[in-house]
């Protein structure tokens, strides 16, 4: 599942993508990014989430947000984690626009 809100601020486009439920192959890459085994241009990090710039952006600012906890499907997502998503995404937006 991908969440693609498009934002415009002073003419700058921004895409923030929250990646929560991905095919298993992508989880391998994201786990390596979280561990620092694959380099990333990090925007913001908490104990539960990581935000970093996409390597193939579709907008001037294109940020991916992933949970640090491996989640197999939407049905397995803890309610607490779902509740913590919004404040983190808002903080990433503030960081992206400076």
CA distance 22 to 37: 19
What does pTM read for this prediction?
0.73
Closest C-alpha among 86, 96, 11 to residue 62:
96
The domain locations on the chain are 2-97
Name the DSSP letter for residue 96: H
Q: What is the pLDDT of residues 35-76, one digit of tens each?
A: 999 999 998 999 999 999 888 888 888 888 888 887 776 677
Q: Which fold, 2-97?
A: HIT family, subunit A (3.30.428)
């Amino acid at each position: 599942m991908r969440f693609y809100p498009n934002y415009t601020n002073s003419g700058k486009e921004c895409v923030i993508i929250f990646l929560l439920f991905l095919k298993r192959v992508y989880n391998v890459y994201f786990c390596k990014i979280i561990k620092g085994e694959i380099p990333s241009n990090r925007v913001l990090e908490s104990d539960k989430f990581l935000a970093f710039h996409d390597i193939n952006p579709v907008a001037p600012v294109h940020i991916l947000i992933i949970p640090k906890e491996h989640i197999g499907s939407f049905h397995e997502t803890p309610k607490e984690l779902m509740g913590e998503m919004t404040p983190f995404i808002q903080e990433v937006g503030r960081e992206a626009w400076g």
